[in-house]
Amino acid sequence: MRGVKKENLPSKICVVCQKPFTWRKKWEKVWEEVKYCSDRCRTSK
């Protein structure tokens, strides 16, 4: 994702809060498995 502008990053909808969230560098290798926007949503499944 190098050289991609922030507005062009991929995004998903959080399973819990239904809000959109965008790709982060720390999710680079596991982006397909990411379902939650934050630890708070992940713990309140």
The pair of structure tokens assigned to 9 is 């990053």
Confidence (pLDDT) at 30: 96
Nearest CA to 24 out of 41, 11, 35, 39 is that of 11
Residues listed for the chain: 45
Amino acid 14: pLDDT: 97
Q: What averages of pLDDT result for each successive group of 10 residues across the chain (45 residues)?
A: 84 96 95 96 89
